[in-house]
Amino acid sequence: MQRRVIPPREGEKNLVDYEEVRKNFSFREGEKFFTWSRTGKANIIYEALEKHVAEGRGDSSALYYSDGQRRENYTFAQLAELARKFTGVLHSLDFRKGERLAIFLPRSPEWYVTFAGTVRAGGIVVPLFEAFMEEALYDRLADSGARILVTAPELLPRVPLERLPQLEHVIVTGEEGLPGTLSWQEEMAKAAPVAEVTWVDLEDPYLILYASGAEGVPRGIVHVHYGMVGHYLTAYWVHDLRPSDVYWCTADPGWITGIVYGFLAPWMHGVPVVIRGGRFRAEDWYRTLAEYRVSVWYSAPTAFRMMRQEEHLLAQYDLSSLRHILSVGEPLTQDVLDWCLEKLGLPVYDTWWMTETGMNIICQLPALPLKVGSIGKPLPGIECTVLDDEGREVGPNRIGHLAIKKGWPAMFRAVWNNEEKYREYFRFDPWFVSGDAAYYDEDGYFYFQGRVDGVINTSGERVGPAEVEKKLVEHPAVKDAAVAGKPDPLRGEIVKAYVVLETGRELTAELMEELRNFVKTGLAAHAAPREFEAVGAVPRTADGSIDRKKLREWVLGLSKPD
């Protein structure tokens, strides 16, 4: 098949010769960029923050934060000092290495200070996306066994505290203390800064991120400090970061992208990050790019499309600082690429990875010809393949399970409390089975072909159909429900629900609105179905589980409900 190809980028780039670097590359070579390779003392936050202070770069900018009300800039030294104070708060609460602290906050400087202060104390952070409601919060807080929760006054009412006996302390941001909670500001004001970093084993966890699968409750994906080797190298090769850059990754820190590339990886390179709080508005985003002179921008197809919808604003802003644009999380469609080429004068480089991989895995790279429609090639040190249902490699141009040979540095090391689920990913050992379908061509470029398992990807957010189904059947009008991702020109996919209603109930506009709100307020806004259809029965396989293949046919219009 003849594919459109954009030639490699001319001029300076960090990774110049992909084939040459790939030859015999081992990630062990990346260890030399870290102080622990000389001192033996390791902590990911030390390498991201305090190292810069220790090496005399403390006055460089680290964080440019803005939202509707606040506008704050922080240097590495200032952030490091705040993080030390937060560690002090944790010491006063007798928080120990290996314990879990959950962050349920909107994007704000407090989010990043809390994260840094916890991880440098040897703690494990459990980020909770701002849009989560009671059930989603309960599942994650209960499973992680978090002892401390840091949240905001407007989010606190959603947390079912009475059902979470292991949660000992709730720290709330905002000036006023709420009964039964500690005030973030007050605790910080009285805390004694703790200068010592808690040194960890490189295989110790620092992060548990819950990711949805097709069935059951979300899994706690466990990441360890050693992952920094992969963060550092991918930020160098793929994001092409240099000290003079201003980097903006638009992902929320409730997800892996907003953590690894939102701040950890750029900070390891001493590069300042832009964080924009508040809801998405195309105009704010254009202004943010221009005001901070963003040079490297990491975002997602749905966001690019939303920017395009208001492209008339382009003329008002000077975006000439942009030099590299990357995309993640959903298929990068040609219309998006063409828009960026035409309006911003730059191609968009696709990057494929997932919560479980902890770092970019298959990417379009400035040094390689960009084959349009492909997600690119596996990075140096990484081997990918495509397997059939029995775990055999299928060779080029055959669709199958996208798999990665285990052992890359930021690979998840466990599923929290669920050894069996972890082993399932490695059922074709030594391959990690991603859950995505893909093929590769004769030149070794990979092509994403959707999820294998019915997990929904709406606006780049991963939604587990079973969680939505479980919520829907709690509603008195719903007897049974099945949920699938329906292709959508703006959002990639939308959540579509097929519902079997109780006798006498009808799927009126009011009921649809009620069901949508029921999911929105009980589980999470982004998981709420945008479309409903009443059916006589939900398709099931012989063992009684929902027939995801059949559902897929339904949403694609290939077959119809009986």
Q: Which residues bind ligand WT7 (CB under 6 A)?
A: 211, 255-257, 328-331, 350-355, 375, 434-436, 448, 451, 457, 462
- Which residues contact residue 464 at a Cβ distance below 8 angstroms, ignoring those fewer than 6 apart? 212, 213, 214, 215, 216, 218, 455, 456
Closest distance between ligand WT7 and the C-beta of residue 432, in Å? 12
Closest distance between ligand WT7 and the C-beta of residue 361, in Å? 9
- The answer to whether 414 and 424 are in contact (CB under 8 A) is no
Closest distance between ligand WT7 and the C-beta of residue 385, in Å? 16
Distance in angstroms (rounded) separating the CA atoms of residues 86 and 102 = 14
Max distance between CA atoms of the chain, in angstroms, equals 72
Listed as own residue / partner, the contacts of 549-557 with beta carbons closer than 8 Å and 24 or more positions apart are 551/454, 551/482, 551/483, 551/484, 551/498, 552/454, 552/484, 554/484, 554/498, 555/484, 555/485, 555/486, 555/487, 555/496, 556/487
Nearer to ligand WT7, 184 or 432 (CB): 432
Closest distance between ligand WT7 and the C-beta of residue 375, in Å? 5
Closest distance between ligand WT7 and the C-beta of residue 261, in Å? 9
SS3 519: helix
**SS (HEC) of 31-45:** HHHCCHHHHCCECHH
Nearer to ligand WT7, 115 or 432 (CB): 432
Nearer to ligand WT7, 139 or 350 (CB): 350
Dihedral sign from CA coordinates of 283, 284, 285, 290:
positive
Nearer to ligand WT7, 223 or 269 (CB): 223
- The answer to whether 408 and 382 are in contact (CB under 8 A) is yes
Nearer to ligand WT7, 46 or 432 (CB): 432
**What tokens were used for 533?**
């259809």
SS3 540: strand
Closest distance between ligand WT7 and the C-beta of residue 544, in Å? 26
Closest distance between ligand WT7 and the C-beta of residue 224, in Å? 17
Characterize the bridge pairing of strands 71-75 and 478-488: unpaired
Closest distance between ligand WT7 and the C-beta of residue 211, in Å? 5
Nearer to ligand WT7, 205 or 464 (CB): 464
- If we measure between CA atoms, which residue out of 301, 320, 321, 323 comes closest to residue 250? 301
Nearer to ligand WT7, 84 or 223 (CB): 223
E strand or H helix at 467 = helix 465-472
- If we measure between CA atoms, which residue out of 3, 6, 5, 8 comes closest to residue 365? 8
- Which residues contact residue 233 at a Cβ distance below 8 angstroms, ignoring those fewer than 6 apart? 27, 30, 379, 381
Distance in angstroms (rounded) separating the CA atoms of residues 550 and 1 = 30
Nearer to ligand WT7, 42 or 456 (CB): 456
Nearer to ligand WT7, 211 or 229 (CB): 211
Nearer to ligand WT7, 247 or 352 (CB): 352
Closest distance between ligand WT7 and the C-beta of residue 488, in Å? 14
Closest distance between ligand WT7 and the C-beta of residue 245, in Å? 21
Distance in angstroms (rounded) separating the CA atoms of residues 155 and 87 = 23
